[in-house]
Amino acid sequence: MATPVGWSPGGSGSVCLAFDQLRDVIESQEELIQQLRNVMVLQDENFVSKEEFQAVEKKLVEEKAAHAKTKVLLAKEEEKLQFALGEVEVLSKQLEKEKLAFEKALSSVKSRALQESSKKDQLITKCNGEATAMRSPRTATKSSPCSPQLEKSPRAATKTQRSQK
């Protein structure tokens, strides 16, 4: 620093004291100025222009609107899904009922077919026994329910059996 005008090394003590105090104030101000410059540099590095900020803000508003729209669509699709799942459940229960009814009907038909098959086997056995007896000369000739069936075709015999019931 330059020596102030009117100051002499052997001068009065009050002038030296004032000069020292003034120098301390100037040094403090220079340090403060340097700190403020450092802060300004950091601010410049982190600075966002008003236009950039407004563009980002506009984009955020658009994204929020798109998000709300997507949320509404998701709710609608979720409702459709829940309805479809309900329908699947109802149809599954209906299918299970129909399956049970079908199995019951099938069992009944199988049982009836087994009974008819058993009756048919009994008739065949009975008719075969009577046919054997008719062929032997010792048996008297008498009419038998099986006699006409032996002479007819199997289809006609089945119709005859049905008509006798």
Burial class of 127 by CB neighbour count within 10 A (0 to 12, 13 to 18, 19+): middle
- pLDDT at residue number 151: 47
- pLDDT at residue number 162: 57
- pLDDT at residue number 132: 76
pLDDT band at 45 (very low <50, low <70, confident <90, very high): confident
pLDDT greater than 60 at residue 150: no
pLDDT > 90: percent of the chain: 56
Residue burial 102-126, b: 16+ Cβ < 10 Å; e: rest: eeeeeeeeeeeeeeeeeeeeeeeee
pTM over cut 0.75? no
Over residues 31-44, the mean pLDDT reads 92
